[in-house]
Structure 1
Amino acid sequence: MRAAVAATGSWTDPDGVRAPSGEVHAWVPGTNQTVCRLSLHRSQLLRFSHVDWLDVQPATGRVADEVIAVCARCAAGMGRRRDERRWTRTNPRP
């Protein structure tokens, strides 16, 4: 699933492109809510349909300079795991 970004604030980068800032949420264009089910209107979130969800991740994103927090529920809904290690059973039941 491709998701865009909804955020609590915005800033303008040196190229003159509007970018998200503050807390960011995953948003599927064409819907009126985020992946974590927040209403865009009631939460007063700004839409950034030109910014991809992967671009605001602090570790790898190109427009993550002003991002303060990434919504954990949206990140989980988009496939991020708490840790990279896979779960394995160490002591199987008899």
Structure 2
Amino acid sequence: MRAPAGEVHAWVPGHNQTLCGRALSRERFVWFSHVGWADVQPATGRHADEVTQVCPRCAAGMGARRGERRWSRVDPRP
């Protein structure tokens, strides 16, 4: 099964853009309609192994709180 990797953005089915306003076709995004927003969150999601960053504007649009710490994956090797 395919899963998202890299920077992830929130997308509402039926729209041609992300919640932060980027056009899917212009940015050449690949969308995963079978993966929910909660599943790509690095702290709790099951499809978040390859996620490196979550778009802060999309996270705010999906209900993230302002004081929450931003999450990014760091390679543990020196």
Does TM-score exceed 0.5, indicating one fold? yes
Pairwise CA RMSD:
0.9
- Normalising by structure 1, report the TM-score: 0.70
Q: TM-score, normalised by structure 2?
A: 0.84
Unpaired segments of 5 or more residues in structure 2? 69-78
Runs (5+) with no aligned partner, structure 1: 1-16, 85-94
* 4+ residue segments displaced more than 2 Å: none
- Structure with larger RCO (C-alpha < 8 A, sep 6+): 2
5 Å-filtered alignment, 1:61-80, equals 61-80=45-64
**Identity of counterpart residues, as a percentage?**
69
Q: Tell me how far 1:82 sits from its aligned partner.
A: 2.6
**1:30 counterpart = 2:20:** no
Is the helix fraction higher in 1 or 2?
A: 2
More strand by percentage? 1
Larger radius of gyration: 1
